[in-house]
Structure 1
Amino acid sequence: MSLEEEPSSLAKVAQLFVLSLAWGMQIWVTFISGFVLIRGVSRHTFGLVQSKLFPFYFYTLVACAFLNLSLFACYHPRELLSTTETLQGCLYFLCLLLAIVNALGLSPATTGAMFQMQAIEREHGLGGEVGLAARREMYQQLRERDPKYQAARQSFFRRHGLSSLCNLACLACNGINLLCLALHLRGL
């Protein structure tokens, strides 16, 4: 159901609000909260907090991406899309897809691998230190001695890297869409 008329003020406000909510949340989670936490709590506490925060974050991002795509699609009939609007629609869809992949696949798998690592670390008295540099040599020795730990660590970092890449791509999609919206404002 595409509407060819000008979007209502409510639709415009909703689109801007939902996109801004997603963007702000992404900036906070991606660039601020993790760096603050890792410097203030133990490694295992950091992992536990992230394991509770990320599912909520990714599902909220899925909801925002779905609403953004739905609002956009309602007021932009496919037959009448300009090049910029086609790009926007594709970016809304890509963001939705990436958020779903993170929420349903990568985040749970990354958390599972992290908990495997933490269990092995606890057996060796590790994980209670604050910051990434603390007891670095002990973690290096554990990696060299325990192939099960090394495999869990590789699995964690592979999945974490893919999840981070999806998150950054989704952040870029929303950033470009915010830019497109801002360039179409008639005034402040």
Structure 2
Amino acid sequence: MEEGGNPGSLTKVVHLLVLSGAWGMQMWVTFISGFVLFRGLPRHTFGLVQSKLFPFYFHISMGCAFVNLCILASQCSWAQLTFWEASQLFLLLLSLTLATINARWLESRTTAAMWALQTVEKERGLGGEVPGSHQGSDPYHQLRGQDPKYSALRQQFFRYHGLSSLCNLGCLLSNGLHLAGLALALHNL
């Protein structure tokens, strides 16, 4: 740290690069790549791609959140912590917690449920089509009605997927709010 308790220039640059890199990655994965891949790839290929990317994505998010929290925590004067500093620390702690839940718990369960779903779908000749490309009645809807095991697997998958999505959105929002906080604290631009 520089004199007066201010972080050095390198610390500031690392903090901003790691935070903005994580937030940019989260924006891309959440709002761009998933939708593009979902609309352009066969259903099971999309699942395979996501199963390979998401472990890296969640662990990188977790690592970035950890680095940012460590940097910010090391800069705080804990005896005189202001509400603003506490809220910024809370945002980074929330991001770390949610990214860790995704990386260490939800991702593996979501992927396992997806593989189980795909096994049943492959047995029925499904999964090779691009979503939205089938004509007539939805074969997946029919399968849910005919096979209680498939219906239960689907509910399990969407439960884990939904929780994972909420955690991901929480990380995205936490990092975005922290970035906004950094921007508001700028004296020159």
Instruction: Bin the TM-score by the shorter chain.
Output: over 0.9
Counterpart in the other structure of 2:114 = 114
Contact 1:43–1:132 (8 Å) recurs in 2? no
Contact 1:38–1:132 (8 Å) recurs in 2? no
Counterpart in the other structure of 2:147 = 146
Distance apart, 1:78 and its partner CA: 1.7
Contact 1:39–1:130 (8 Å) recurs in 2? yes
Matched, 1:42 2:48: no
Matched, 1:178 2:186: no
Counterpart in the other structure of 1:157 = 158
**Structure 2 counterpart of 1:177, which letter?**
H
* Structure 1 residues 26-175: aligned runs within 5 Å: 26-132=26-132, 134=134, 137-175=138-176
**Structure 1 counterpart of 2:26, which letter?**
Q
Distance in 2, Cα, partners of 1:132 & 1:38: 10
Distance in 2, Cα, partners of 1:26 & 1:115: 24
Distance apart, 1:185 and its partner CA: 1.2
- Structure 2 counterpart SS, 1:6: coil
Distance apart, 1:134 and its partner CA: 3.0
- Structure 1 counterpart SS, 2:138: helix
- Structure 2 counterpart SS, 1:126: coil
Contact 1:98–1:166 (8 Å) recurs in 2? yes
* 1:4-54 deviations in Å (ceiling 9; x for gaps): 611000000011000001100000000000110011110000000000000
* 1:105-136 deviations in Å (ceiling 9; x for gaps): 10100000000000000000000001246366
**Structure 2 counterpart of 1:175, which letter?**
G
Distance in 2, Cα, partners of 1:4 & 1:158: 49
Q: How many residues align?
A: 186
User: Over the residues paired in the alignment, what is the CA RMSD in angstroms?
Assistant: 1.3
Distance in 1, Cα, partners of 2:50 & 2:65: 21
- Structure 2 counterpart SS, 1:39: helix
**How high is the sequence identity, in percent, across the aligned residues?**
56
Q: Structure 1 residues 90, 125: CA separation in 2 closer, same or farther (over 3 Å shift)?
A: same
TM-score using structure 2 length: 0.95
TM-score using structure 1 length: 0.95
Counterpart in the other structure of 1:22 = 22
Listed as ranges, the gaps of 5+ residues in structure 2 are none
Distance in 2, Cα, partners of 1:62 & 1:14: 16
Distance in 1, Cα, partners of 2:6 & 2:84: 17
Distance in 2, Cα, partners of 1:139 & 1:96: 36
